[in-house]
Amino acid sequence: MGGSPSGFMTAGVRVAAHAPSPFFRRRRVVARVATSLAPALVAGVLVGCSTAGEASGESAPRQRPESTDVLRPEAGMPFDYQIGEGYTPPDGVRAVSRDREDEPVPGLYNVCYVNAFQTQPGALKWWQDTHPALLLRDGDGELIIDEGWDEVLLDTSTAALRTELAEIVGDWIDGCAESGFQAVEPDNLDSFERSRGRLTAEHNAAFATTLADRAHDDGLAIGQKNTTDLLDRHEAIGFDFAVAEECAQFDECDAYADAYDDRVFAVEYEGEGDVGFDESCSTWGDRISLVLRDLAVLPAGEKGHVFRTC
């Protein structure tokens, strides 16, 4: 796939794209069916949707006409969040999210993780060498960094910058489609909240609209990753479902569920917050796809790995 690496090699070992941090924050946070998608899956667990259109400018995206069919996930389908490293899905799982450099699972609904609004850990030099103007800086010219994950924010503040960014991230989305994923989740949609006032929700909504068009052109559904601040624009942007981290902890699951007709992949983390997973399941388990993971999203077999569904 094009662009910067998504995971990195250290002493021959692939390092997960998002290793845990002591400063962890929530990451608010012509239809084409991929060849790896079994016909029975198409008939049994997916539903069609239609969205496409032009990217907006500085203002909030407008409602766009329907034109391109994509495949959306079925509400409530058992889900595993494997963005740290892929592993054999547990029995009963019907959908997974994996890093864009990982492989999709034949017969499942596969969501491709793409860090679209910030740099990946370890990839800063690539950006500095190839696209330094796309890195967000403060008034003194210093890089603006998401300290929780050691990721520099990408600059979505002008149409020209968004166009250049879209060439890079768009190639990654193309790669997701070519690999056989059915959907994409562009992460850090909420980067404007950490931008020290240099970015706005409108900037990121405009860039997200461009990414949604690219995903739909590739036959991929696209998920809104966190931030209820943009839920009222989800149709105009072109999002098809949501990936929400800790929505039970922050009492936001209902907002995502209502906006997306329960097409929500909700990830809770072991030991985080005051709402227990059993309580979350009791409240939301019959509507949305809810999974409990360890904070480091470790693969099965590694010490500390946690996986539960309702």
Domains located in the chain, CATH noted = 8-309 (3.20.20)
Task: Extract the tokens encoding 120.
Answer: 């990946």
Q: Kindly indicate the confidence band of residue 6, based on its pLDDT and cuts at 50, 70 and 90.
A: very low
Please compute, for residue 274, the number of CA atoms within 13 A of its CA located in the half-sphere on the CB side.
2
First to last CA, the chain: 35
Residues 6+ apart with CB under 8 A from 11: none
The whole-number average pLDDT for the span 283-304 is 96
Question: Residue 109 and residue 240: Cα distance in Å, rounded?
Answer: 14
Average pLDDT of the residues in 76-96: 97
Kindly report, residue by residue over 103-153, the tens digit of the pLDDT. 999 999 999 999 999 999 889 999 999 999 999 999 999 999 999 889 999
Q: 0.85 cut: is pTM over it?
A: no
Average pLDDT, the chain: 84
**CB-based contacts of 40-48 (< 8 A; 24+ apart in sequence):** 41/94, 41/107, 41/108, 41/109, 42/71, 45/73, 45/74, 45/77, 45/94, 45/109, 46/71, 46/72, 46/73, 46/74, 46/109, 46/182, 47/71, 47/72, 47/74, 48/72
Q: Are 186 and 212 in contact (CB under 8 A)?
A: no
Task: Report the pLDDT averaged over residues 175-198.
Answer: 98
Angle between helix axes 201-217 and 159-179 (nearest 10 degrees) is: 40
Q: Is 43 left (phi over 0), alpha (psi -120 to 50) or beta?
A: alpha
The token duo for 68 is 């391109």
The C-alpha atoms of residue 229 and residue 23 are separated, in whole angstroms, by 23
> pLDDT tens digit string along 256-282?
999 999 999 999 999 988 899 999 999
State whether the Cα torsion 241-233-208-66 is positive or negative.
Answer: positive
- Check residue 59 and report its DSSP letter: S
Work out the number of other CB atoms within 10 angstroms of the CB of residue 289: 29
Query: For 26-78, what is each residue's pLDDT tens digit?
Result: 343 323 333 344 444 444 444 444 333 333 334 444 444 443 589 999 999 99
Amino acid letter for position 294: D
**What is the C-alpha to C-alpha distance for residues 77 and 99, in angstroms, rounded to an integer?**
20
- Give the pLDDT confidence score for residue 121 in this predicted structure: 87
pLDDT attached to residue 205:
98
